[in-house]
Amino acid sequence: MTTQSPDTYNRSAVSHDDAALTQAIRRQEERLARDPGSLAFAQLADLYRKVGRTREAAALCRDGLARYPHYTTARLILAKALVADGDLDGALAELTAILQLSPKDVQSHRLAAEIHRRHGRIDEAVAHLETAVRLDAGDRESRALLGLLRAATPSPGEAGGLARVLGDDTFATVAFGTLCREQACLEEAAQTFTTILRRDPGNRDARDGLEQTLRARQRRKG
């Protein structure tokens, strides 16, 4: 009996997923062609986004939103497509419009938190994460991320070892944060980078360091 290697199995799964997406796109395109005024544009745009056709997704959403300006699902898909295309400010504008209409939209708060974080605006990111957690108590990922971004420094009497070092802003440098990350001290690295960013949100090295730390944390979680 011949067994597939894990790599072969993974490639087969990916190929199957790609084929399923291609079929789904074809069905939605046909549906929209039959009824150009339907809400199917949002589903098609999301499928385009998932296969990397982000500009087509954005264009389709904008065209549909011209007819249905209060369709927040389509606006969220547009925001996600803009994030994937690197237009963070454009995405944030769409999220702001959503939250004006639907202030309890959890997905929009999560994505807004990501955008503010990537811009180095830690306090704004924390505010959106706090709202997301309040609205969805089961959102463990947002809760964990919130813990990293708003971690309080222990008082001198309680701190020990590395925690005491982190309490001294002298050590809040990109080099020290990078060292923490390289030593797999990810919480300490995140605390260092967020301390820098609260002082200087425009510090590109600190922003990059924080994003690399969060990706390393995600890989560690598996």
Identify the pLDDT of residue 153.
Answer: 47
Q: How crowded is the C-beta side of 83, counted as CA atoms within 13 Å? A: 23
Identify the pLDDT of residue 221.
Answer: 80
CA separation for the pair 142, 135 (Å, rounded): 11
Identify the pLDDT of residue 2.
Answer: 47
pTM: 0.84
Identify the pLDDT of residue 154.
Answer: 46
Identify the pLDDT of residue 10.
Answer: 46
Contacts of 148 (CB under 8 A, 6+ apart): 187, 190, 191, 194, 214, 217
Identify the pLDDT of residue 9.
Answer: 39
Identify the pLDDT of residue 159.
Answer: 47
CA separation for the pair 204, 201 (Å, rounded): 8
As averages over each run of 10 residues, the pLDDT of the chain (222 residues) reads 48 67 93 93 96 97 96 97 97 97 97 98 97 96 93 49 59 92 94 95 97 94 74
